[in-house]
Amino acid sequence: MREDPYELIILGGGPAGAAAGVYAARKQLATLLITKEFGGQSVVSPDIQNWIGTPHISGQELAEAFARHLREYADEVLTIVSGKEVVRVDVDASLITVELATGESFRAHTLLYALGARRRKLAAKGADQFEHKGLTYCASCDGPLFAGKDVVVVGGGNAGFESAAQLAAYAASVLILEYNDTFNADPITVEKVLAQPNVRAQTNAEVVEVFGTNLVEGVRWRDRRNGEEHTERVAGVFVEIGTIPNTDLVAHLVERTERGAITIDPWTGKTSHPRIWAAGDCTNVRYHQNNIAAGDGVKALEDIYLSLRAR
């Protein structure tokens, strides 16, 4: 491992961090990339169909491809630290310091922050109590346990509809409950998923309780238009209600939105701190997709390169 300071530290091995890492190495920037794991959030997806140039790829294959591509450059200019967690980021007069849970710390002149986002938890009564007892945040991981059973998906965005599509293949029935009065998922996805005979969906539905004894036995939801409460007897509850940006580590350093997303200049990926850039789902960009995160990682890297080499 090189004596620090590095020119650049990249945090994250999802599409934003991985894409930036490849570009950084090709531009010969002395770079350290740190990530808990490769691939990012869609690593759990069995079939990603919109990674450009690849009609079908599993999340696991995507993660392996990222790691393989980055390792092409490892040891030359790019140092990779994977399987470790970043716990602290600080800046002094001239350098950025990144500290890991292991106690190791590294310094660099610039930082690209790409730690993505994590799942938003369901706030309904009983949701915590029944997590892993019928309530889950990963349809592709836990779905097969619910073969032949009735299940609910909470959330009518793309992730909710994709989960419903997977579940429909083996569950007896799938009910999608959406809080708002319209679905956020792409119309083509909504149409395709609702064409399945065992899938139905309900808008304006607020889940108020997950109930059961040892395992989930059902949910109660309130119709937000008239306040009426309904009970669904289901064995599984799959929660897909969005994400929370992983930005706590730089809360004291950069401007964030109310939602906690890092505010960036969309032209460059620059944050409010002159030596910190950010890309992907941890930022305030409107759309969250693998291709967008990768492109934004590259865009930020181009700007970092200019800022370093124009000094």
Ligand X SMILES: Cc1cc2nc3c(=O)[nH]c(=O)nc-3n(C[C@H](O)[C@H](O)[C@H](O)COP(=O)(O)OP(=O)(O)OC[C@H]3O[C@@H](n4cnc5c(N)ncnc54)[C@H](O)[C@@H]3O)c2cc1C
Q: How many residues does the chain have?
A: 311
Q: Which residues neighbour 213 within 8 Å (Cβ) at sequence distance 6 or greater?
A: none
Query: Considering the complex, what minimum distance in angstroms separates the CB of residue 46 from ligand X?
Result: 10
Helix (H) or strand (E) holding 175: strand 173-177
Q: How many residues bind ligand X (CB under 6 A)?
A: 32
CA-CA distance, 42 to 44, in Å (whole number)? Answer: 5
Residues 32-61 within binding reach of ligand X (CB under 6 A):
34-37, 40-42, 44-45, 48, 50
Nearer to ligand X, 11 or 218 (CB): 11
Q: Does 97 bind ligand X (CB under 6 A)?
A: no
Nearer to ligand X, 100 or 208 (CB): 100
Tell me, residue by residue from 174 to 193, as one string, x for binding to ligand X by CB under 6 A and - for no binding: --------------------
Q: Yes or no: say if 193 and 199 are a contact pair by the CB < 8 Å rule.
A: yes
The β-bridge relationship of strands 205-212 and 276-278 is unpaired
Residues 195-254 within binding reach of ligand X (CB under 6 A):
246
Nearer to ligand X, 16 or 70 (CB): 16
Residues 6-25 within binding reach of ligand X (CB under 6 A):
12-17
Query: Considering the complex, what minimum distance in angstroms separates the CB of residue 214 from ligand X?
Result: 27
Cβ atoms within 10 A of the Cβ of 260, count? 15
Q: Does 280 bind ligand X (CB under 6 A)?
A: yes
Q: Does 136 bind ligand X (CB under 6 A)?
A: no
Nearer to ligand X, 122 or 293 (CB): 293
Q: Yes or no: say if 78 and 22 are a contact pair by the CB < 8 Å rule.
A: no
Cβ atoms within 10 A of the Cβ of 281, count? 28
Joined together, the tokens standing for residue 125 give 């009564």
Joined together, the tokens standing for residue 56 give 């079908």
Nearer to ligand X, 31 or 41 (CB): 41
Interacting residue with ligand X among 110, 247, 271, 290 (CB under 6 A): 290
Q: Does 74 bind ligand X (CB under 6 A)?
A: no
Interacting residue with ligand X among 91, 289, 307, 308 (CB under 6 A): 289
Joined together, the tokens standing for residue 32 give 């350290």
Residues 103-132 within binding reach of ligand X (CB under 6 A):
114-117
Query: Considering the complex, what minimum distance in angstroms separates the CB of residue 66 from ligand X?
Result: 9
Query: Considering the complex, what minimum distance in angstroms separates the CB of residue 139 from ligand X?
Result: 8
> Is 307 strand, coil or helix?
helix
DSSP 274: T
Query: What is the CA angle 222-226-228, rounded to 5?
Result: 40
What are the Cα distances from residue 172, in Å, to 29, 198, 239? Answer: 54, 7, 18
Binding site for ligand X (CB under 6 A): 12-17, 34-37, 40-42, 44-45, 48, 50, 85-86, 114-117, 159, 246, 280-281, 288-291, 293
